[in-house]
Amino acid sequence: MATVTISRIEPGDAAAWEALGRRWRALEPLAGASFFTSWTWVGCLAAERFDDPLLVAAESAGETVALALFNRRRRWFGRPRLWLHEAGRHALDSPFIEHNGLLTRDPALIGDCLRAALRHGNLVLSGVEDPTLLAARAVGKTWRRENPRPAPWLDLDRVREAGGVLPLLSANARQQLRRARRALEATGPLALARAADESEAIAFLREMAVLHQASWRARGHSGAFSEPFFARFHEALLGRAMPRGEAELVRITAGPRLLGLLYNFVHDSRVMAYQSGFAGVEAGRSIGQICHWLAIDNHAAAGRSVYDFLAGEARYKSRFASARTEMHWLDLER
């Protein structure tokens, strides 16, 4: 029988955050954490992001079996809102969380943990999947703040069996990509270079940000890097993730010409295509798809299992994906 407790962490208490990090890391391999529920992500700039943090913990026989970190945001009217692994402020949540959920060895405890949190306010659960989604619907009244978002992914075992991703695509897609690749190779051979360390990864990230912002602003959008905290968070994240092999910045070139950069997370043999920046789309050929093509074949050759395009619809995702799941954004009230 597990005992569920909820306690507040003082944001400025460095020792408390360090202790929580050790406790969190110990539970991660037993709970099957996603990258976004690992301490690499949740603990990044945590003392700054969480100004009123509430920790929900379940213990059984003296061992921690479930953890969840909420940030409480009080309101003039109504109950406070508790944000799961988010700050509840747009700027601080610009590093978009996905594959979110409670960290637990026993999914049956999720409902008990959510009930404990609900005593302190309504809950905001962003980017959650089963079993957190099922438990949330069972313990409170839920409504969607936005529609469920598809999350396409590619089985890399299929890529290896086919000898590359190209044979898995439609005849029309194969023809388009081969033509685009030949045109790019007129400049020089395609090459993929991975940042060797944190310093080079940050340099690649900054180079990617320039391409990303130029592309999105040309289409009338602000771009992910429009919030200054986004870049600061990810530079700090690279300092945590690179030594653990959990992040990569990949630079793709055609001879001397830069084509684009990919920013991926790598966790439990799963590659997550989180962000990118490309030099453009010319004469109907997508440089972005060429870059993903190279990255997919590279990770398949390295023995990884999934290339995850994360939440959202896009043509290139539909072209490459072999399956899809859904993530949900929910409010939960008592």
Round to whole Å and give the CA distance between 96 and 101. Answer: 14
3-state secondary structure 112-170: HHHHHHHCCCEEEEEEECCCHHHHHHHHCEEEEEEEEEEEEEEEHHHHHHHCCCHHHCC
Round to whole Å and give the CA distance between 57 and 31. Answer: 13
Q: Do residues 101 and 192 share a domain?
A: no
> Does a structural domain hold residue 132?
yes
User: H or E stretch including 54?
Assistant: strand 53-60
Residues of the chain short of pLDDT 50, as ranges, are 283-284
pTM attached to this predicted model: 0.95
Range of the domain at 29: 3-139
Q: Do residues 209 and 116 share a domain?
A: no
Token pair in block for residue 301 = 């050759």
Q: Do residues 55 and 177 share a domain?
A: no
Give the pLDDT confidence score for residue 284 in this predicted structure.
38
Give the pLDDT confidence score for residue 144 in this predicted structure.
66
Q: Do residues 164 and 135 share a domain?
A: no
Q: Do residues 231 and 261 share a domain?
A: yes
State the total domains in the chain: 2
